[in-house]
Structure 1
Amino acid sequence: MLEDIQKEIEKYETIIILRHQNPDPDAIGSQVGLATILQEAYPQKKIYVSGIDLPVLDWIGHMQDVSPETYRNSLVIAVDTANIERLDNPGFYKQAGMVIKIDHHPDVDPFGDINWVEDSFSSCAEMIYIMTEKINHLNISKKSAYSLYSGIVGDTNRYLYGETSYFTLDVAAKLAKTGINISEISLHEDEMSLQVARLEAYILDNLQITESGFGSIVIRKNTLEKFHLADGEIDHVVPLIGRINTVNNWIVVSEKVPNRFRINLRSKKIAINGVAEKFGGGGHPLASGVYVGSMDEVFALMKDMDALNKRN
């Protein structure tokens, strides 16, 4: 698999790296880290990162404007994206000569011409690091290590999640050995704006927890607007509910657009990705997401999440 990926990387002069919508540190860290690795290995090639710029994560890296014409006969590498609907691209990727998918989510949509998918990894950033060990001419610099380490810390929630393994810590240690400021990265991951802090207070004050240990908060559009959040900031509050010791699984529902509800599903032990898939979403066993179009669907999903605890 990696030999095939190496051949395509060497073949194309233009490489465009994409990731999923509503990016998290792993999506941008993998994207920017891979771009840095390839640019340092092949300085003559044109390497781009494309997608919506998210100011709250610009400490990891910035996106570039890539014209539709640039995609023609290019190599597109999509990182950290489980299905094509989530790709942060208006369809320009269809003009590419080759699409490679690199992802650590369950392989529900092998949309690439080459698909390297392994859901045993804690993050896509880990997979990008493996590329540098297995593919000739690819190396880790301090600059690329900073991005990849940010992705690992983000997707493991600073090594809290169950996917964290000995291998995860080994890769993180090798990245840290380059001399990156790991304390600075952790502080970036941990810090929040005053608006997010006030939203967390609202959540704790209005949170519902069932007898089975299912926690939920629904933030309707008129309420969400009062907090004046920047794009991506609501993701900071998702882990909050899980810190409560009586909570087994939980959801955060946010309505940014009328009757379009984004639902983040999380769990400490019981797999919840089946619930997300039932409603058209997906993700990891303990961390998934979905969009639904009505409160009736929200209530139905809440019922299923509560039932999971009662059966286990």
Structure 2
Amino acid sequence: MKQTIIDTIKHYDKIAIHRHVRPDPDAYGSQKGLATIIQSSFPNKEVVVVGEEDPSLAFLATMDQVSDHFYENTLAIICDTANQDRISDQRFRHAQSIIKIDHHPVVDSYGEIEWVDTKASSTSEMIYELFLAGEEQGLRCTDAAAALLYAGIVGDTGRFLFPSATDKTFRYASELVRYSFDRSYLYDEMYKTSVNIARLKGYILSNITISPAGVSYVKLTKDVMEEFDVTAKETSAVVGVFGDIEGINAWVMFVEEDDVIRVRMRSKGPEIHQVAAKFEGGGHPLAAGAKIHVWEQVSDVLAELEKTCQQQS
């Protein structure tokens, strides 16, 4: 599969690389990291990264602006996205050929070429593996590409603390840090915390409840977010605050937006992605997302999580 991807990349002069909406460091790292590798390896190719901008990730990359005309006779590569509806910039559908590279469980099969590895810690890890497979064929990993891939791996493994970090993950990370980039800068940018977010963490910790099966949750209504002067997008920075608390096996954060209530689920062991699938979502066994439309559905989500934790305890 990796060789097929390399051969396809070689075939196209224009390549557009996409990733999922509401991006995280792995989405940006795999997308821009792959673009940097391709551009460095094949200087005559026109390679762009597209999708919504996330100011908090601008230290990693900024997106390119291209016309619809760009997609004529173009290869689109989709990184880190399990289903088509979540691909940022839906113009990928107009590309001549589509490649999917992802580490999430398959939700939606798309593209002429699909490389899905659910055992990979991150899509950034897969992109580095793609580079290794093509190194003797001319693929080049620059310092800039290494920094991006390292950031993506760090982000999706929770600084190598999550079970998804395997011996291969550590091996690849050890190779990436041999390149010349500022790891301290990456960590500072990825994990810096504003005063408002710190206060919101305090609010969450002060209101924690734990069910008999070890389920905890918090509801972040618009009023709560207004009180702490944080946006719905910024609340993603506090989803891990439950992780170190004794007695919590799984937790969920409900975040009110204009037209939907986002459901962010995490777990220390019970597999929760099937719960997310029941509420218009999905993801990894220990980290998933979903959505509900009215607050009355909160009890339904919690009941499913409670049942899952009891069955898998």
TM range (shorter): over 0.9
**Structure 2 equivalent of residue 179 of structure 1:** 180
Match of 1:248 in 2: 249
Backbone CA RMSD of aligned residues: 1.3
Partner letter of residue 267 of structure 2?
S
Distance 1:143 1:118 in 2: 24
Q: How many angstroms apart in 1 are the aligned matches of 2:119 and 2:139?
A: 23
- Alignment-derived partner of residue 139 in structure 2: 138
1:222 aligns with 223
Which residue does 2:154 correspond to in 1? 153
8 A Cα contact 1:17 1:31, kept in partner: yes
1-structure distance, mates of 2:2, 2:309: 40
- Structure 1 residue 232: Cα displacement: 3.6
Q: Is the contact made by 1:122 and 1:164 (CA closer than 8 Å) also made in structure 2? A: yes
- Judged with a 3 Å threshold, the aligned counterparts in structure 2 of structure 1 residues 231 and 151 are, in CA distance, closer, same or farther, namely farther
| TM-superposition CA deviations, 1:203-253 (whole Å, max 9, x none) | 112233212211100111222233333574211101111111111110111
User: Partner of 1:257: helix, strand, or coil?
Assistant: coil
| Cα deviations by residue, 1:96-140 (Å, 9 ceiling, x for unpaired) | 001100000011211111100010000000000001111221121
Bigger shift: residues 229-238 or 74-83: 229-238
Contact 1:214 1:248 in 2 (8 A): yes
Aligned match of 1:93? 92
- Structure 2 residue runs of 5 or longer lacking an equivalent are none
1:57 aligns with 2:63: no
Residue in 1 aligned with 2:34? 34
The residue that corresponds to 2:121 in the other structure is 122
Deviation at 1:24, TM superposition (A): 0.5
Paired with 1:264 and 1:212, the residues of 2 have a C-alpha distance of 18
SS at match of 1:243: coil
> What percentage of aligned pairs have identical amino acids?
37
The residue number in structure 1 matching 2:44 is 44
Contiguous gaps of at least 5 residues in structure 1 = none
Counterpart in the other structure of 1:112? 111
Secondary structure (helix, strand or coil) at the match of 1:48 reads strand
- Runs ≥4 in structure 1, deviation > 3 angstroms? none
Whether contact under 8 Å (2:252, 2:263) holds in the other structure is: yes
- Structure 1 residues 182-191 or 95-104, which shifts more? 182-191
Aligned residues: 310
**296-305 or 148-157, which deviates more:** 296-305
Q: Does the residue aligned with 1:16 lie in a helix, a strand or coil?
A: strand
Partner SS state of residue 243, structure 2: helix
What letter is aligned with 1:116? W
| C-alpha distance in structure 1 between counterparts of 2:231 and 2:304, whole Å | 31
With over 3 angstroms needed to count, the CA separation of the structure-2 counterparts of 1:63 and 1:203, relative to structure 1, is: same
Structure 1 position 75 matched with structure 2 position 95: no
1:302 to partner: Cα distance = 1.0
- Mean alpha-carbon deviation: is it higher for 145-154 or for 226-235? 226-235
1:300 Cα shift?
A: 0.5
**Residues 256 and 262 in structure 2, CA contact (< 8 A), matched pair in contact too:** yes
- 1:93 match: secondary structure: helix
2-structure distance, mates of 1:254, 1:39: 39
Which residue in the other structure is 1:308 paired with?
Answer: 308
User: Could you tell me how far apart the structure 2 residues matched to 1:232 and 1:188 are?
Assistant: 16
Residue 72 of structure 2 contacts residue 95 of structure 2 at CA under 8 Å; is this kept in 1?
Answer: yes
1:163 matched to 2:176? The reply is no
In structure 2, what is the Cα distance between the partners aligned to 1:73 and 1:276? 37
**Separation in structure 1 between the aligned mates of residue 236 and residue 138 of structure 2, nearest angstrom:** 36
So what's the TM-score if we normalise by structure 1? 0.96
| TM-score under structure 2 length normalisation | 0.96
CA distance in 1, matches of 2:139, 2:280: 37
Deviations 1:50-80 (A, max 9, x none): 1111111111111111222211221100000
Query: What is the distance in 2 between the residues matched to 1:241 and 1:267?
Result: 10
CA distance in 2, matches of 1:108, 1:117: 11
Please tell me whether the aligned partners of residues 158 and 186 of structure 1 are also in contact (alpha carbons under 8 angstroms). Answer: no
